[in-house]
């Protein structure tokens, strides 16, 4: 089921894109929760992390490597947090898998 993130991939709505390759795209969050807050998404429509299939293993690994590359590119490679909200009760509001890349302020533990 396409979401607003598919519209961003297809350039149907604007976003500040910070990284793109054949498999994924990253853009600034519209409602940032930290000085750096980027959404990294696969171009493939996977609604939630739990919907990933064995054939998505390389793609999911690619996302992790891309997250580190993007963090370094944005100058926050030494201190950032990755968050995946899986399901509405965990805070997911857009049902297209996304990795939040957050940086630029202290982060508490455990997370809220």
Mention every residue, 6+ apart, whose C-beta is less than 8 A from residue 7: 13
Which positions from 11 to 30 touch ligand DGP by CB under 6 A, shown as an x/- string?
----x-----------xxxx
Interface with ligand DGP in residues 69-88 (CB under 6 A): 85
Q: Which residues within the stretch 34-73 sit at the binding site for ligand DGP (CB under 6 A)?
A: 39
Binder among 10, 20, 94, 105 for ligand DGP (CB under 6 A):
94
Contacts of 63 (CB under 8 A, 6+ apart): 23, 24, 40, 42, 99
- In angstroms, give the least distance from the CB of 78 to ligand DGP: 23
Query: What tokens were used for 90?
Result: 């965990």
């Amino acid at each position: 089921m396409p979401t607003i993130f598919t519209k961003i991939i297809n350039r149907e709505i604007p976003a500040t894109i910070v990284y793109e390759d054949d498999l994924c795209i990253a853009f600034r969050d519209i409602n940032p929760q930290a000085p750096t807050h980027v959404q990294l998404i696969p171009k493939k429509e996977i609604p939630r992390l739990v919907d990933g299939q064995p054939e998505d293993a390389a793609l999911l690994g690619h996302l992790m490597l891309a997250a580190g590359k993007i963090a370094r590119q944005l100058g926050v490679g030494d201190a950032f947090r990755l968050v995946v909200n899986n399901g509405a009760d965990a805070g997911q509001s857009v049902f297209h898998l996304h990795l939040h890349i957050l940086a630029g302020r202290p982060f508490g533990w455990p997370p809220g």
